[in-house]
Amino acid sequence: MTIYLREFKIFPSMGNFRGFKDLLGLRFVDKDFISEILNQAEVFLEVINRPNRKLPTLRGKTVVHMFFEPSTRTLSSFDLAAKRLSADTISVGTRGTSIAKGESLLDTLKNIDAMKVDLYIVRHSASGLPHLLARNTDATVINAGDGTNEHPTQALLDMMTLSQLFGSLDNINILIVGDILHSRVARSNIFGLSKFGAKIFLAGPPTLVPEEYRLLGAEIVRNIDDVLSEVNVIMALRIQKERLEEPYFPSIREYRKFFGITKERLEKLSPETVLMHPGPVNWGIELDYEARDRVRNVILRQVTNGVAVRMAILYLFLVGAQQNG
């Protein structure tokens, strides 16, 4: 049995941003922490819409990408965020580095630390890995997705998108549908959105929807057609074939029938209903192609906001932080 509500201790050692050296998840942070990031992100959103998108803010700072899992959006978004703030960036993944020669991750960390760097962005298939690294370096560690635990920057960009659309987060009724069990995106969104009083419905094959999320105030729905007219946001999640070691549901066809946002369901939806997805999308499974043409499909807006949110995080942890204390 998977333990999905694992405790991770957070060490607010350096007090860089609101008492936290690292951004490891949204579980243990408060509303003000999230709001300050979202407000700062709105400022940077204006910057990235200018013809000249570069600011000198992080000149002299070094950001290290440590990605041990495939990533398109998150890696390029963090990289652009760092570059638009004039930070230097290097990349230490498995391919082409000594990790492929068997060097332990902590050894790698110590060696990169010795070169004097400021911030690590970590993605790894092991839940809790960024927490381990954070405890072994004085640099800031940002979690860019750890196993099935958290993906805080994705949830922050989702929350930014929702607050732009709805003005605040307390009037949101969101259906998160799919593989909730393995989804770090769902977990971070549940932790984040529930702090602001959003109403969260969860749906998916019963084997993939942990009952424990009721403890966080989420409601579990068995039949999505019962709530589609009630919610103002639908967040579809990817069926994560790489994380499904055992068959959790009979077939993709059956999944689509019960939990897919199909053409038929889209036709019945209010045109006001917002459609979100963290990407990458398996079109034709969790979302039918017709979803692309909907006015309130905000999938690419999420991606744009992602750069602004990550600029805000880099700025607050590296610069704003020092000024605060």
Query: Per rule CB under 6 A, is residue 74 in the interface with ligand NCD?
Result: yes
> To the nearest whole angstrom, how small is the minimum distance from the Cβ of residue 161 to ligand NCD?
13
Alpha carbon distance 88, 97 (integer Å): 19
Query: Per rule CB under 6 A, is residue 217 in the interface with ligand NCD?
Result: no
Collect all residues with Cβ–Cβ distance below 8 Å to 258 and sequence separation of at least 6: 205, 223, 224
Considering the complex, state which of residue 8 and residue 14 has its C-beta at the smaller distance from ligand NCD: 8
> To the nearest whole angstrom, how small is the minimum distance from the Cβ of residue 72 to ligand NCD?
8
Query: Per rule CB under 6 A, is residue 238 in the interface with ligand NCD?
Result: yes
Alpha carbon distance 274, 165 (integer Å): 9
Alpha carbon distance 74, 223 (integer Å): 32
Query: Per rule CB under 6 A, is residue 151 in the interface with ligand NCD?
Result: yes
> To the nearest whole angstrom, how small is the minimum distance from the Cβ of residue 182 to ligand NCD?
9
Binder of ligand NCD out of 35, 91, 108, 240 (CB under 6 A): 240
Considering the complex, state which of residue 73 and residue 83 has its C-beta at the smaller distance from ligand NCD: 73
Contact positions with ligand NCD (CB under 6 A) in 32-71: none
Q: Kindly state the tokens that stand for 235.
A: 């967040």
Number of separate helices (H) and strands (E) present in the chain:
10, 9
Binder of ligand NCD out of 84, 124, 184, 195 (CB under 6 A): 184
Binder of ligand NCD out of 19, 128, 217, 279 (CB under 6 A): 279
Considering the complex, state which of residue 240 and residue 304 has its C-beta at the smaller distance from ligand NCD: 240
Our CA dihedral for 169, 170, 175, 180, rounded to 10 degrees, sits at: 70
Q: Kindly state the tokens that stand for 207.
A: 């084997």
Q: Kindly state the tokens that stand for 189.
A: 């969104």
Considering the complex, state which of residue 238 and residue 296 has its C-beta at the smaller distance from ligand NCD: 238
Tell me the C-alpha to C-alpha distance, in Å, between residue 298 and each of 193, 261, 262, 271, 281: 18, 15, 17, 13, 13
Query: Per rule CB under 6 A, is residue 282 in the interface with ligand NCD?
Result: no
> To the nearest whole angstrom, how small is the minimum distance from the Cβ of residue 66 to ligand NCD?
15
Alpha carbon distance 231, 171 (integer Å): 10
The arrangement of strands across the sheet holding 140-146 comes to: 88-91, 62-67, 119-124, 140-146
Query: Per rule CB under 6 A, is residue 145 in the interface with ligand NCD?
Result: yes
Our CA dihedral for 149, 137, 15, 170, rounded to 10 degrees, sits at: -20
Query: For the chain, what is the radius of gyration of the CA atoms?
Result: 19
Considering the complex, state which of residue 118 and residue 179 has its C-beta at the smaller distance from ligand NCD: 179
For 89, phi then psi, to 5°, come to -130, 140
Considering the complex, state which of residue 117 and residue 274 has its C-beta at the smaller distance from ligand NCD: 274
Mask for 295-324, x = binds ligand NCD (CB under 6 A): ------------------------------
Pick from 96, 85, 147, 148: nearest CA to 118: 85
Q: Binding-site residue total for ligand NCD (CB under 6 A)?
A: 11
Considering the complex, state which of residue 18 and residue 187 has its C-beta at the smaller distance from ligand NCD: 187
Pick from 230, 229, 215: nearest CA to 266: 229
Considering the complex, state which of residue 26 and residue 117 has its C-beta at the smaller distance from ligand NCD: 26
Query: Which positions lie near ligand NCD, rule CB under 6 A?
Result: 73-74, 145, 151, 154, 184-185, 238, 240, 278-279
